């Protein structure tokens, strides 16, 4: 159930090891929340101890925090897994891999493996969630996308292409589900300071995981279907996405 304040009783994170996914779930957990599930590969109860402690410290009501094993690359298991979760109000789709563009450039199989998880997994899991929420007649899907998919840069065009595909899929899914009582929100952060990006040079307008989580919470309260974090990136990419290729290739961005 979701109340008028856009608070959720049952929250699921697909990609339960994602630092950003957990931060968003933690920010959206309120006294109204009853259950939070982190779903990821080979997760055990020990993987959620710190997260559970964080949520318990901010909750004045009984809260169940648990983990489930979920593999984004095992497409055949997705519908059964989602159906086994019971009542769900919010699903945060947060799984994905960054990969090393240079290495993947010379290893096509590894590039295809990344595409399989980042795009194929999102399609499979996204549709499984959509089917379940449609049967419920309500619910909300949040896809953690990226500005990397708006116009792929040469330094990460393989990863960027997966985010572009996922973003387009989520837009279409949102249109299909709108008449059925199910909402879809797409989050487009820029560079995020997280474990996955450690050691990389930050891009302009970089944000912390906490800033992204706050941006998601604010965007959901305002009923936005696309959330840019920070919000200035919406204007930046409205220009970058239409630049002539001759100009784009001369820009001092990798």
Question: What residues act catalytically?
Answer: 159
Measured in Å, how far apart are the chain's first and last C-alpha atoms?
44
Dump the DSSP string for 183-236. EEEEEEE-SEESGGGTTSPPPTT-EEHHHHHHHHHHHHHTT-SEEEESTHHHHH
Place of tokens 């169940």: 64
Burial 93-132 (b: 16+ CB within 10 A, else e): bbbbbbbebeebeeeeebbebbbbbbbbbbbbbbbbbbeb
How many other CB atoms are there within 10 angstroms of residue 84's CB atom? 9
Q: What is the number of other CB atoms lying within 10 angstroms of the CB of residue 150?
A: 20
Report how far residue 208's alpha carbon sits from residue 222's, in angstroms, rounded to the nearest whole number: 21
* Burial track 25-46 (b if 16+ CB lie within 10 A, e otherwise): bbbbbbebbbbbbbbbeebeee
Strand partners, 228: 188
Tokens of 124: 């499979």
């Amino acid at each position: 159930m979701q109340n008028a304040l856009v608070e959720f009783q049952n929250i699921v994170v697909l990609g339960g090891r994602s630092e950003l996914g957990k931060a968003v779930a933690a920010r959206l957990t309120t006294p109204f929340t009853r259950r939070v599930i982190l779903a990821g590969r080979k997760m055990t109860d020990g993987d959620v101890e710190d997260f559970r402690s964080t949520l318990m410290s901010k909750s004045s009501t009984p809260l169940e925090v648990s983990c489930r094993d979920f593999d984004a690359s095992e497409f055949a298991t997705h519908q059964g897994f989602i159906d086994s979760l019971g009542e769900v109000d919010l699903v945060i789709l947060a799984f994905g891999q960054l990969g090393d563009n240079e290495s993947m450039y010379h290893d096509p199989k590894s590039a295809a493996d990344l595409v399989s998880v980042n795009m194929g997994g999102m399609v499979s899991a996204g549709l499984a969630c959509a089917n379940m929420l449609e049967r419920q007649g309500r619910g909300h899907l949040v896809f953690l996308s990226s500005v990397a998919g708006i116009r792929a840069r040469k330094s990460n065009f393989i990863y960027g292409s997966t985010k572009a595909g996922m973003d387009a899929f989520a837009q279409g899914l949102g249109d299909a589900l709108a008449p059925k009582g199910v909402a879809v929100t797409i989050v487009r952060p820029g560079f995020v300071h997280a474990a996955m990006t450690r050691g990389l040079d930050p891009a302009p307008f970089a944000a912390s995981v906490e800033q992204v989580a706050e941006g998601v919470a604010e965007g959901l309260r305002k009923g936005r279907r696309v959330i840019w974090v920070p919000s200035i990136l919406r204007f930046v990419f409205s220009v970058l996405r239409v630049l002539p290729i001759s100009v784009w290739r001369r820009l001092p961005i990798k």
